Structure 1
Amino acid sequence: MLLLIPGPVQTRPEVKAAMAQDIAPWDRDFQKVYARVRERIVAVAGGRLGEHATLPIQGAGHFVSEAALRTFVAPGAKVLIPMNGAYAQRMARLAREAGREVVALPLPDTQGATAADILPALDADPSIGTVAMVFNETGSGIVNDAPGIGAALRARGTRLILDAVSAFGVLPFPLAEHPECDALVFTSGKCLEGMPGMGFAVCRIDRAEACAGNAGSWSFDLSDVLAHARRSGWGSIRFTPPVQAIAAFDVALDLYDAEGGQAARRARYQANTDILYDGTVALGLRPYLAREQQGPVIVTIHQPADPRFDLMTFVEALKRHGVLISNFYNTAAPTMRIGAIGAITPDDMRCAVAAIGAALREVLPRAA
């Protein structure tokens, strides 16, 4: 089965094989692996050891996003969130339910946010101290201009929390060049092609220290994760982790390096995206995004206007042809979400386009 969702992604056999072992999280051999993974992540993030640290939280991306919001935004403080997608809406809910005041900036889900969108809202309310944003929206496929927005925030002394869950390892945002960024968060099961189960925040150490006491939750306190690492060692973790997923992630990082790192992985995903975008257009389908707004992670397609079309029926037909896509959408208009990331190649994507065509012919047969 070819898994074409924006995460958890299809993985390589070597990554799966690393899961097939029993591991004690406190074992010294495993602690070496865990400490090594944390250092390697800082390098992928373009950070500096001693200035940045990897602070993990078990679970899905929502868990580590909430931890970053709780840690780096004080209770009752304002956080601006550009609202141009489903995952921005989820970030806003996490912040509100954590007792932070969300200043929502409505934007269309068909174009990425830029500094020109953000700055007027900050000028209108100087009490906003932090911008929290999604780098790549897997609802639609847009990419927000995190580097440009980060530079604008740095110039005015505003802090940034960046949800890079479906961007990390592919879309560049070197932390050493962005001291305004308190935390960049991502998960193990996306563009680095590991198994799901672990969230990571790459944080400024000085900011994590300064924000101790903000979280109001032991489980979601990144400052406490840092304190624990300093107290017990970088190979130690506070609560029982998904140890097999961490072991697999170490192998996934080996494969990432062997492929050529960020540039090579982005090139492969971009090739996948181009084939998928052009191929669906050739089938008579209409992409949700204009070409210039299309990111390299997921291609979202308008559902056919034919009243006979049913998304679930189509997903099941496509699965019979060996391709699995999401059976839901979260855009303003009805769409189909098709991922371009994971351990898949351009040849795989050409096969997927052919399968999409065959499934469409099954669910929308032409009248005799």
Structure 2
Amino acid sequence: MSLGVFMGEDLLLMIPGPTVVPSRITRAMSAPILPHRGKEFSQMFLDQMERLKMVFRTKNEVYVLCGSGTAAMEASISNSVTEGDKVLCLINGKFSERFAEIAESFKANVIKLEFEWGDQVDVGVVRRTLYDNPDIKVVTMVFNETSTGVRNPVEEVGELVSDTEAILVVDTISALGGDVFETDLWNVDICVSGSQKCFALPPGLAFISVSDKAWRVIEGNDSMAYYLDLKNYRKDKAHAPYTPPVTLVYGLRESLDMLDEEGLENRWERHKELANIAREGLTELGFELLPLSEEICSNTVTAVKVPEGFDVSQFKRILRERYNIEIAGGQSHLTNKIFRVGHMGVITERDLYATLVCIELAMEEM
């Protein structure tokens, strides 16, 4: 059976990033290269950073770095942490675990609060740990844990951290622009994101916002960074300290135009509706959600458990080879125990319903 007429000829990326890049953005990126130190590009670059503040919901400065979201994660640590500093890492998935790995690579004294993969961070445990460790300098967490499809209580943790000397660093890479997130209202000091998820851009740009509280920490820190030294990005915002990917900045401008046209709150609502369709459709097909409750489920990626003996690799191969759809498997100890469906960026209801139909067909071929 072929669903080519319904699906189209291009591979449909239903993974949690990188996501489908619309033709409107690829056309914008095909414009002739401008000199990156020239007046026209510098103004464009500066304008996009100003526009990103709306997506971050912040008055803080937002900087564009060259690299994937992990570059911004590393920048948040390398600029704020010196060897021996105490860093509290809230871990309930692969990407929150990455913060701890980065902090350890910079020889921080890392406290790991580990929670079940599929559950939220426990705010009560965070409260007690902060009370017992008043010298904690940095707290890290992930808002939307891509590896498990769980949203974490950033607002509640932000309120706790704001009453301490520590700064809160949050990874919003797989949700910013696709789910409600309030950098300033939730007391987030450093917020990091990336281009290849809800912005529907190719990989290659990382975004980072920095609060005044965070800048005080950074300015008093002996940075171990060179390429990612945020003080260099702050000196002259219109000119990146190193050559930026010019065509990706063209794409960012187009992506933000599309976001303006849709409206940020409308986009949040669209992603919420897609998430509801995904959860309902997958559970009707007999799969169990990995998150312990629907209230903590992500609005951009849905993770479901598979039955014993279910071959996720074969399942993915059938979807790709027969139906031209790519989904994601599990990571780390969840390999071959779950699969994940991304529904972010410009993914439509039609894309999602087609994916659900093809998942059902692929199950029949297993």
- Pick closer, same or farther for the CA change 1:254–1:165 going to 2, 3 Å: same
Q: Note the 1:4-83 alignment, pairs <5 A.
A: 4-23=14-33, 24-48=35-59, 52-83=60-91
TM-superposition CA deviations, 1:293-312 (whole Å, max 9, x none): 2110111111232x3x3222
- Pick closer, same or farther for the CA change 1:206–1:115 going to 2, 3 Å: closer
Q: Is 1:193 matched up with 2:200? A: yes
Q: Note the 1:308-319 alignment, pairs <5 A.
A: 309-319=310-320
Which whole-Å CA distance do the structure 2 matches of 1:338 and 1:331 have between them? 18
In the TM superposition, residue 336 of structure 1 has moved relative to its aligned partner by 0.5
TM-superposition CA deviations, 1:241-276 (whole Å, max 9, x none): 221111101100111111111x21121111111111
- Residue identity matched to 2:311: D
Q: Which residue of 1 aligns with 2:6?
A: none
SS in structure 1 at match of 2:121? coil
SS in structure 1 at match of 2:317? helix
Q: Does the aligned pair in 2 maintain the 1:209–1:223 contact within 8 Å?
A: no
TM-score w.r.t. structure 1 length?
0.90
In the TM superposition, residue 101 of structure 1 has moved relative to its aligned partner by 1.5
Q: Note the 1:196-215 alignment, pairs <5 A.
A: 196-205=203-212, 207-208=214-215, 210-212=217-219, 213-215=221-223
Bigger drift between 132-141 and 197-206 goes to: 197-206
- Residue identity matched to 2:314: T
In the TM superposition, residue 34 of structure 1 has moved relative to its aligned partner by 0.6
- Pick closer, same or farther for the CA change 1:31–1:222 going to 2, 3 Å: same
Which whole-Å CA distance do the structure 2 matches of 1:250 and 1:46 have between them? 18
Which whole-Å CA distance do the structure 2 matches of 1:26 and 1:79 have between them? 38
TM-superposition CA deviations, 1:82-105 (whole Å, max 9, x none): 111111111110111012111100
1:148 aligned residue (156, 175, 183): 156
Q: Does the aligned pair in 1 maintain the 2:81–2:106 contact within 8 Å?
A: no
In the TM superposition, residue 182 of structure 1 has moved relative to its aligned partner by 2.5
Q: Which residue of 1 aligns with 2:242?
A: 239
In the TM superposition, residue 12 of structure 1 has moved relative to its aligned partner by 1.8
Aligned residues: 351
RMSD over equivalenced CA pairs, Å = 1.8
- Residue identity matched to 2:208: A
SS in structure 2 at match of 1:132? strand
1:268 aligned residue (260, 267, 270): 270
2:282 aligned residue (280, 283, 292): 280
In the TM superposition, residue 331 of structure 1 has moved relative to its aligned partner by 5.4
In the TM superposition, residue 328 of structure 1 has moved relative to its aligned partner by 4.7
Which whole-Å CA distance do the structure 2 matches of 1:114 and 1:259 have between them? 35
Q: Does the aligned pair in 2 maintain the 1:79–1:100 contact within 8 Å?
A: yes
Which whole-Å CA distance do the structure 1 matches of 2:254 and 2:332 have between them? 33
Which whole-Å CA distance do the structure 2 matches of 1:331 and 1:61 have between them? 23
Which whole-Å CA distance do the structure 2 matches of 1:350 and 1:342 have between them? 16
- Residue identity matched to 1:313: Q
Q: Which residue of 1 aligns with 2:350?
A: 347
Unaligned runs of 5+ in 2: 1-10
Percent sequence identity over matched residues? 26
- Pick closer, same or farther for the CA change 1:129–1:205 going to 2, 3 Å: closer
Which whole-Å CA distance do the structure 2 matches of 1:155 and 1:181 have between them? 12
TM-score w.r.t. structure 2 length?
0.91
1:324 aligned residue (317, 323, 326): 326
